[in-house]
Amino acid sequence: MNRLDFEGRHAVITGGATGLGFAIAQRLLDSGGSVTLWDRDLAAAEAAAQRLGANAKAIAVDVSDAAGVAKAVQATLALRDAGGVVDALVNSAGITGPNTSVDNYPVDAWRQVINVNLTGTFLCCREWVPHLRERPWARIVNIASVAGKEGNPNASAYSASKAGVIALTKSLGKELSGTGVRVNSVTPAAVKTAIFDQMSKEHIAFMLSKIPMGRFGTPEEIASMVAWLCTEDCAFSTGATFDLSGGRATY
């Protein structure tokens, strides 16, 4: 594994207690940085931070709650050393919702998926941008999905939410293009994490059948790309979408 340069930098990672968020945190720590894990499950976040070591902290936050996100920003800054700053935001928190057709999709479940995946990403960006904009350079990376490009059957809310994340990334990237903030997204195909527990076996098999490489991605593969997008080396890309789909998406 090559060592990326995140030396002395700090990242906030939503959904950081498990799955992709945890893998991204580990890669950024291995690259010389420190992290704050945001997760709605404080016990899980604290346990994850303990496993990651002294350079990881944990804060409980529901990313779909505007007041809670604003409070978590202040709590995160308070955890930093005097004058400490945040250099990167990785929006990884997400849920899948049920696997069913549009005409059977529960309205409450639709709202929950949109609130967590899309509105949560918006709220975190909204609260962190004023801070990040003051930095000489800063990075925002949003975890979208190949489903946001193609639309998966029986996953309409998830697909719609991730399409929204891609569009939000493009808009915000353009808004901040005159600053030191770069805003990008990644679009993984299915990655075998605990989120699979929210999906039907049929839907998991469908997703695998669409990947030309014939396997699921690994959290470490996603973390490698995300970590690079958090570094100063990613200097001329903003509002962009980076494919991590094993050949499924070609645009």
Residues carrying an active site annotation: 158
Residue 213 has a CB neighbour count (10 Å cut-off) of 11
Per the CB < 8 A criterion, the answer to whether 33 and 90 are in contact is no
Dihedral, CA of residue 207, residue 213, residue 215 and residue 219, to nearest 10: -90
Helix/strand/coil percent split, the chain, to 5: 45, 15, 40
Q: What is the DSSP letter of 11?
A: E
Phi/psi at 10 (5° precision) = -130, 135
Residues in the chain: 251
